[in-house]
Amino acid sequence: MPFLAAALMVLFLLNPLSSLRADGTIVCLDPGHGGSDPGAVGNGVLEKDVNLDIALRARNLLTGMGYQVVMTRVKDVYVSLEDRCKIANTSGAEAFLSIHNNASSQGGEGTETYCYYDSEEGRILAKAVHYQVVSRIGLKNRGVKEAGFYVLKNTDMPSALLEGAFITNSKEADLLKDPLFRQKIAEGISAGLAEFLRDPGLFSEYISILNPDSSKRAKVAVDFIAADGRVRKEIFEILQLGRHSIFVDREIRSADVSSVVRSENGVAVVCERSMYFDFSGFNGGHCSSGARGLSKVWYLAEGSTAWGFSTFILVFNPQKEQSKITVRLLRSDGHTGSFEFVLPSLSRLTIDTSTLRGFENADFSTVVLAEKPVVAERAVYFSDFKGISGGHASCAVAKPYCRWYFAEGYTGKGFDTFILISNPNKIRAKVHMLSMLPEGKTISNYFGVEPMSRKTIHLNSVPGLQSTDVSTLLYSDIAVIAERSVYFNYNGIKDGSNCFGSPAPLKASYLAEGYTGEGFDTFVLLMNPNKESAPVTVRFLLPGVGVKSIGLILPAFSRKTIQVNNVTGLKGKEFSVEILSKKRIAAERAMYFNKGNQQGGHCVTASRPSGVWYFAEGCTR
Ligand SMILES: [Zn+2]
């Protein structure tokens, strides 16, 4: 998932577990110099003072996250290097970070982080802290380096040494005088340590690409960009109506990965990313289509750090230049917060929203604003929603719309369906929610969404919508963002799914994935939002086998569920789906899986083909 596997962080960022994660996890912070040793001196700044201030701020943040923090000094006293190591080595700490700021007679600038020679763990720690600090303060990135510093050599646990900024550089010294700047360094330190100390987990990632063209092959190039700088490229051809699935773990091992899928011969393709995760304690899967292009603004309606939920915002910058990023969160109660980041070229930023002030325990929606066009996504993991644990992920949308169509929705036993609406405007949105039931019956509800805030509608609680399949059509008088989240216990399979609605139904739409093999159930959900009935052809594209078509008539304003496992000839098959109609139809696919110890489900909106797809999220750790 995230930059350095924020997804893996979920284990301890989450919930009830959040108290567990802290217990027993000790970190040692070492503010460099002190007392008679001032460290670097210049431009009115004493290194020992800023080092201590940053360390104390980081201690507060880490303590707030539940860590136990051991300090080598908490005031302006001299502590020998030997004593610093002794304190660390007897503390039981699982990580050691020495906090310094730099000096140079040659006028240096920027941030660098050190680990001991050939220390594998130290390098991972240094990278995590380095990246998180650099992305927050935006100074020149001098990289992660190796050195034989005493405290790195003589500490028993993974250790790193951060040089935040240059005291001898008057511009950077001025920044160091600013408490807000020191706070940002401290936030980077705590985020980096948290990332490093996360429990190990397991992700598998797949990218499925469908060539919906019946006459031409598609020539496709996929770039995988790992957070640690590794890049892989794969080029292949996909036959007419064929599908190609990439097991990303095999392409780039043990990494947080962003991906770009590009057609090289003008044949547009349909692309989805599925991820399956298995942490100790809970597991599940999610699936999302990617972004068809880049944008300077992205919207997400869903997001929570309350109720045992962890929410990560992922931003991928495929540009050759760095980009400033502003993340604006809108709480349900109208409170907003803005947070600034810098995203280096060809890299991904993972933001754990529980580290953002004012959003430690809140429901919110998100707007991502970027200086240069980027792509944004959100991953959510939850440990105990009515006894259900799991996760879901969705690519953000670049634009609000006045209409949103959701084919899927179920309020029967074990299922909770929520519609989330974010209003990014300065005026109130008036929304008409039209619920469509299987027989063609409809129910209307009207409500407002306050300016700059988000609203959650629990469909199970809406009169008339109990224990039913339901499609939802939202009409808003001004453009808004809408998503649907479902939490389920489906025959013992527990997980959650999330989908953006479709802002515009299509006459031809596609689903790249589909599987009815052992342990997998696949459903295709159709919604006819038209005043007239609609004839629909659903074509199941079976690679190497052919096409199986079914025709049906959807009554006006109705919804239909196709349980693919029960369609004659489609049991135990892998397939893609093409949905064709003369009328515009909204379609989705829901999948549930039970692979022994791994269970879950996900849902995705059918889409139209595109020449390029971007995925910010991805993880093979
Ligand atoms: Zn120093």
Which range has the top average pLDDT, 28-42, 299-313, 429-443? Answer: 28-42
What are the catalytic residues?
Answer: 163
Q: What percent of the chain has pLDDT over 70?
A: 94
pLDDT class of 106 with cuts at 50, 70, 90: confident
Q: Tell me the CA–centroid distance for residue 102 and ligand 1, in Å.
A: 6
Beginning with the edge strand found earlier in the chain, give each strand of the sheet holding 270-279 in spatial order: 243-247, 203-210, 270-279, 282-289
Whether 173 has a pLDDT exceeding 60, the answer reads: yes
Q: Which residue has the higher pLDDT, 224 or 18?
A: 224
The full 3-state SS of 435-501, as one line of letters, equals: EECCCCCEEEEEEEECCCEEEEEEHHHCCCCCCCECEEEEEEEEEEEEEEEEEEEECCEEEEEEEEC
**Bridge partner list, 473:** 405, 434
Contacts of 192 by beta carbon, 8 Å cutoff, 6+ apart: 125, 128, 129, 130, 131, 132, 133
Least confident of 188-202, 401-415, 571-585: 188-202
Give dist(CA 121, CA 196) in Å, integer. Answer: 9
Give dist(CA 75, CA 52) in Å, integer. Answer: 7
Give dist(CA 446, CA 463) in Å, integer. Answer: 13
pLDDT class of 198 with cuts at 50, 70, 90: low
Check residue 253 and give its pLDDT: 66
Check residue 283 and give its pLDDT: 81
**Bridge partner list, 511:** 577
Q: Tell me the CA–centroid distance for residue 341 and ligand 1, in Å.
A: 26
Q: Tell me the CA–centroid distance for residue 125 and ligand 1, in Å.
A: 19
Give dist(CA 131, CA 13) in Å, integer. Answer: 19
Q: Tell me the CA–centroid distance for residue 37 and ligand 1, in Å.
A: 10
Structure tokens that stand for 102 in this block = 């730099």
Check residue 249 and give its pLDDT: 75
Q: Tell me the CA–centroid distance for residue 229 and ligand 1, in Å.
A: 28
Check residue 14 and give its pLDDT: 28
Q: What is the DSSP letter of 320?
A: S
Whether 17 has a pLDDT exceeding 60, the answer reads: no
Q: Which residue, chain included where needed, has tokens 């773990």?
A: 249
Q: Tell me the CA–centroid distance for residue 58 and ligand 1, in Å.
A: 17
The residue type at 239:
L
pTM score, two decimals? 0.70
Q: Tell me the CA–centroid distance for residue 47 and ligand 1, in Å.
A: 7
Q: What is the DSSP letter of 199?
A: P
C-alpha 543: how far from chain center: 31
C-alpha 540: how far from chain center: 31
Check residue 281 and give its pLDDT: 63
pLDDT class of 597 with cuts at 50, 70, 90: low
Contact yes or no for 398/424 (Cβ under 8 A): no
Q: What is the DSSP letter of 618?
A: -
pLDDT class of 77 with cuts at 50, 70, 90: very high
Give dist(CA 273, CA 312) in Å, integer. Answer: 17
Give dist(CA 143, CA 134) in Å, integer. Answer: 9
Check residue 13 and give its pLDDT: 30
Q: Which residue, chain included where needed, has tokens 């003008």?
A: 266
Q: Tell me the CA–centroid distance for residue 158 and ligand 1, in Å.
A: 19
Check residue 2 and give its pLDDT: 30
Count other Cβ atoms within 10 Å, centred on residue 216.
12
Contacts of 86 by beta carbon, 8 Å cutoff, 6+ apart: none
Q: What would be the CATH architecture of the domain defined by 6-197?
A: 3-Layer(aba) Sandwich (3.40)
C-alpha 205: how far from chain center: 14
Whether 4 has a pLDDT exceeding 60, the answer reads: no
Check residue 16 and give its pLDDT: 25
Q: What mean pLDDT is predicted for residues 464-485? A: 95
Whether 259 has a pLDDT exceeding 70, the answer reads: yes
Q: Which residue, chain included where needed, has tokens 């971007």?
A: 614
pLDDT digits (tens, 9 = 90+) for 365-413: 999 999 999 999 999 998 888 888 899 999 999 999 999 999 999 999 9
Strands (E), 92-217: 95-102, 111-116, 141-147, 159-166, 203-210
Helix (H) or strand (E) segment spanning residue 186: helix 179-197
Check residue 269 and give its pLDDT: 98
pLDDT class of 421 with cuts at 50, 70, 90: very high
> Given phi > 0 = left and psi -120 to 50 = alpha, else beta, which region is 430?
beta
Q: Tell me the CA–centroid distance for residue 81 and ligand 1, in Å.
A: 12
For the chain, helix, strand, coil in percent to 5 are 15, 50, 30
pLDDT class of 315 with cuts at 50, 70, 90: very high
Give dist(CA 116, CA 363) in Å, integer. Answer: 42
Give dist(CA 350, CA 376) in Å, integer. Answer: 10
pLDDT digits (tens, 9 = 90+) for 134-164: 888 999 999 999 999 999 999 999 999 999 9
Whether 61 has a pLDDT exceeding 50, the answer reads: yes
Delimit the domains of the chain by residue range.
6-197, 275-615
- Which 3 state secondary structure label does DSSP give 148? coil
CA angle 346, 498, 415 (to 5 degrees): 160
Q: Single out the residue of 113, 110, 82 nearest to residue 99, CA to CA.
A: 113
Give dist(CA 295, CA 275) in Å, integer. Answer: 24
Q: What percent of the chain has pLDDT over 90?
A: 73
Q: Tell me the CA–centroid distance for residue 187 and ligand 1, in Å.
A: 20
pLDDT digits (tens, 9 = 90+) for 478-514: 999 999 999 999 888 889 999 998 999 999 999 999 9
Q: Tell me the CA–centroid distance for residue 98 and ligand 1, in Å.
A: 9
pLDDT class of 438 with cuts at 50, 70, 90: confident
Q: Tell me the CA–centroid distance for residue 198 and ligand 1, in Å.
A: 28
* β-bridge pairing 506-511 and 203-210: unpaired
Give dist(CA 161, CA 98) in Å, integer. Answer: 5
Check residue 189 and give its pLDDT: 95
Q: Which residue, chain included where needed, has tokens 């392409």?
A: 251
Angle separating helix axes 6-13 and 179-197, nearest 10 degrees: 90
Check residue 254 and give its pLDDT: 73
Q: Tell me the CA–centroid distance for residue 46 and ligand 1, in Å.
A: 10
Q: Single out the residue of 237, 199, 200 nearest to residue 219, CA to CA.
A: 237
Check residue 21 and give its pLDDT: 39
Q: Tell me the CA–centroid distance for residue 33 and ligand 1, in Å.
A: 6
Contact yes or no for 604/303 (Cβ under 8 A): no
Check residue 387 and give its pLDDT: 84
Q: Tell me the CA–centroid distance for residue 65 and ligand 1, in Å.
A: 27
Contact yes or no for 370/550 (Cβ under 8 A): no
Q: Tell me the CA–centroid distance for residue 196 and ligand 1, in Å.
A: 23
